[in-house]
Homo-oligomer: A and B are copies of this chain.
Amino acid sequence: MNEEKIIQLPEPTLRRLPWYLAYVNMLRTQNVEYVSSTQISRQINVDASQIAKDLSFLNIKGKTRIGYQVENLAVTLSNFLGFHNDHTAFIIGTGSLGSALIQDSGLMQYGLHIVAGFDVNPDIVGKNICGVPIYHISELAERQRQYNAAIGILTVPVEHAQESADLLSAGGLRAIWNFTPYRIKASEHVVIQNTSIYAHLAVMYNRINGNR
């Protein structure tokens, strides 16, 4: 059993770890060997003491006066975050955003492997997008037995969000990545991650107007 895998961090810490990783990966390409929490702090706008605390959750400790070893920090962070593992995913709704995500090879670099898409549109069902087969939504349970996907990505129109979430829960998927603005519900065994890019747009518009 891999102890490291089941550390449950506070969500704010979890969200900061990818920032540290992005920065140290950049240092790695510049062949920098050591970095201090003060240096990371200056780049990332997070208190140095907070950075040290976040990293201590992963048992990463810097050396006095020298700091963290860049290579080691990058590998430990990436392993902990699960970006090196292969997480299989279905995508539900292969309209504009759904097919865009299938085409985003960046997701693959972060360990997300989209293995199949589902839709109801007869123009799309039976075809494939970038090699990913698109099935009719009625085949979801059957295809889940074939693929055993862990994550369902929800990119359907808002009025189909809850019924699609129900299908994913019933199919035994373990997480739903919800891109719709609808607040879906699922059993407590299913992890729900909301990524409301349109809500972020609203926040940004409001801030722009406030800056006038």
Q: Which A residues fall within an 8 A CB radius of B?
A: 5-9, 11, 14-15, 17-19, 21-23, 25-26, 29, 43-46, 81-83, 85, 87, 95-97, 99-101, 103-107, 110-112, 150-151, 158-159, 174-175, 177, 180-183, 185, 189, 191, 193, 195-212
Contact, CB under 8 Å: A191 / B207: yes
Which of A23, A43, A158, A204 gathers the greatest number of chain B CB atoms within 10 Å?
A204
Q: Taking chain A's interface residues, is the majority helix, strand, or loop, or is none over half, making it mixed?
A: helix
Q: Tell me whether A82 and B205 are in contact (CB under 8 A).
A: yes
Bound Cα distance from A106 to B46, whole angstroms: 33
> Could you say how many copies of this chain the assembly holds?
2
A195's nearest neighbour on chain B, judged by CB, is B200
User: Given A151-B204, A193-B204, A205-B82, are A96 and B106 neighbors across the interface (CB < 8 Å)?
Assistant: yes
Question: Residues of B contacting A180 with CB < 8 Å?
Answer: 22
Query: What distance in Å separates the Cβ of A189 from its nearest Cβ neighbour in chain B?
Result: 6
Is there contact, CB below 8 Å, between B110 and A104? no
Q: How far is the CB of A173 from chain B (nearest CB, A)?
A: 10
Q: How far is the CB of A50 from chain B (nearest CB, A)?
A: 13
What 6 pairs across the A-B complex have the smallest Cβ distances? A100-B100, A82-B205, A22-B181, A193-B204, A191-B207, A81-B202
